[in-house]
Amino acid sequence: MDRAFSLLSVFSADRPAATLSELSRRSGLPLSTTHRLVASLVDLGALERGADGRYSVGLRLLELGVLSPGSLDLRDRAVPFLEDLYEVTRHNVQLAVRDGAEVVYVERISARDAVNVVTRVGSRMPLHCTGVGLVLLAHAPADVREAVLAAPLRRFTPRTITSAGPLREALARARRDGYAISDRQIELITYSVAAPVRGPGGDVVASVSVVVPTGTRTDTVVPAVRACGLAISRALGWAG
């Protein structure tokens, strides 16, 4: 299973397809082992072989992935409120959860003419530089926060927070204000406003955000995002 998963882990948003030799090289497995495992994964529907001989993730994995208990109930309950938020803002609406030191996007709604964003459902981003990431990191266990603060912080733009001091301040503001703004940290043409989503016990289990073009006023976006996070939280059973 470890070897099979190492093959599947070769695929990413930047590498959606790979040849047999690429899978062998990037996974570190012998070509003969790769050939045997890939054949089994194709038979199971976990991989698909294209007309060009390259392999990609199969629909069976997508079918199983959406059943993850970490996102299924959350997404089902959140979608109506995400749609409401989209109708109010007409910009990119996103729902994300934390996985270790990364954000995983589990839902996104966007307009055809909305500003372009680099994320998609299933993609990952660092915690320190996105709106949803700042919210999730602000409410993460202390050991998670300290590990992120101690690690190198990847720079995307000149505005990206890359040192521990400013990041601590941003996290403190997110806890104090009940929302976070990531200003041009991923792209210089956008910023995001994010708010927490709480589970039945009050723990922050997800974050919702709107990504808007730089220059958009925050006085209407912030209340709408916070209201959406509160509505999803109540739908999940939080009574605070």
Contact 119, 125 (CB under 8 A): yes
Q: What is the pLDDT of residue 196?
A: 97
Nearest C-alpha neighbor of 116 from the set 187, 183, 184: 187
At 188-224, the pLDDT tens digits run 888 899 999 999 889 999 999 999 888 888 888 999 9
**3-class SS at 27?**
helix
Q: For residue 37, how far is the Cα from the chain centroid?
A: 29
**pLDDT confidence of residue 70:** 54
Record the pTM: 0.74
Helix (H) or strand (E) holding 208: strand 204-213
Rg (CA), the chain: 19
Q: Which residues share a beta bridge with 211?
A: 92, 192
Lowest mean per-residue pLDDT among 12-16, 173-177, 212-216: 12-16
Q: At residue 96, what are phi and psi to the nearest 5 degrees?
A: -140, 155
32-46, pLDDT tens digit by residue?
999 999 999 999 888
User: Sorting pLDDT into bands at 50, 70 and 90, what band is 132?
Assistant: very high
Please give the structure tokens belonging to residue 94. Answer: 């996103």
Whose tokens are 């974050």? That residue is: 207
Residue 182, SS3? Answer: strand
Say how far apart CA 91 and CA 221 lie, in whole Å.
10
* Phi and psi at residue 40, to the nearest 5°: -65, -40
Query: Distance between CA atoms of 125 and 113, rounded to whole angstroms?
Result: 23
Do residues 207 and 197 touch, judged by C-beta distance below 8 A?
A: yes
Please report, as a single letter, which amino acid is at residue 4: A
**Type of residue found at 228:** C
Residue 131: pLDDT band (50, 70, 90) is: very high
Determine whether 21 is exposed, middle or buried from the number of CB atoms within 10 Å of its CB (0-12, 13-18, 19+). exposed
Per the CB < 8 A criterion, the answer to whether 162 and 149 are in contact is no
Paired tokens of 80: 């109506």
| pLDDT tens-digit map of 78-105 | 999 999 999 988 888 999 999 889 998 8
Coil, helix or strand at residue 127 = helix
Spatial distance between the Cα atoms of 81 and 87, rounded to a whole number of angstroms: 10
Rounded to whole angstroms, how far apart are CA atoms 116 and 151? 29
